[in-house]
């Protein structure tokens, strides 16, 4: 009997590559923590927040965890888009196939797949922004404007850009 493993991912690497290369899970987790920490600390320093490290300690674990959740949501939309099946008789079959055919393999292959992947990245970024603004920064002493700016910085900088990574580079 084989044990099923739980795969978590974020901005550093796409989920489907973790399935193929689970060995890199630990570096991905560490890398995401470092990136999230860097963004939070630098943004707070730019905003001249008092007690930066106190605010950092209160929020970083939630920022990190909710970043994964947001990226998983974007990944689910990618999987849903890839798995859409339209009846072969449908007049929309070619359009849907063009839109989703290369979502995982090479989103740069056509404008439709690229657009779909960018939409999934935007969904993740919106979730990152909302989670940080409403949940992860709640116990900090940041004012609303500072929370919005830190949340926006996290949403933009930690968006899962590697959703765009063509996996055809790794699969022959």
pLDDT, tens digit (0-9, with 9 covering 90-100), for 97-130:
666 667 778 888 888 889 889 999 999 999 999 9
Cβ 41 vs Cβ 51: under 8 Å? no
User: Given this model, what pLDDT does residue 42 score?
Assistant: 97
Quote the Cα angle for 21-26-31, to 5°.
Answer: 105
User: Given this model, what pLDDT does residue 18 score?
Assistant: 54
Q: pTM (2 decimals)? A: 0.79
Please report which confidence band the pLDDT of residue 91 belongs to, taking 50, 70 and 90 as the band edges: low
Residue indicated by tokens 């900088």: 157
Higher pLDDT, 105 or 62: 62
Backbone angles phi, psi at 159, to 5 degrees: -55, 145
Higher pLDDT, 153 or 115: 153
* Strongest mean pLDDT among 9-13, 17-21, 72-76: 72-76
- Name the nearest CA neighbour of 69 among 139, 5, 142, 154: 154
């Amino acid at each position: 009997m084989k044990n099923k493993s739980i795969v978590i991912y974020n901005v550093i690497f796409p989920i489907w590559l973790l399935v193929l290369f689970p060995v890199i899970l630990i570096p991905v987790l560490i890398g995401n923590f470092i990136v999230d920490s860097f963004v939070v600390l630098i943004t707070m320093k730019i905003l001249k927040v008092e007690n930066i490290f106190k605010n950092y300690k209160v929020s970083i674990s939630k920022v990190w965890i909710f970043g994964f959740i947001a990226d998983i949501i974007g990944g689910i939309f990618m999987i849903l888009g890839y798995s859409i099946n339209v009846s072969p008789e449908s007049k929309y079959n070619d359009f849907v196939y063009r839109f989703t055919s290369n979502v995982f393999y090479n989103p740069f292959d056509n404008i439709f797949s690229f657009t779909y992947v960018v939409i999934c990245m935007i969904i993740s970024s919106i979730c990152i922004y909302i989670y940080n603004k409403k949940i992860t920064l709640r116990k900090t002493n940041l004012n609303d404007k500072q929370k919005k700016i830190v949340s926006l910085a996290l949403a933009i900088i930690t968006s899962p850009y590697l959703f765009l990574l063509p996996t055809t580079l790794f699969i022959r």
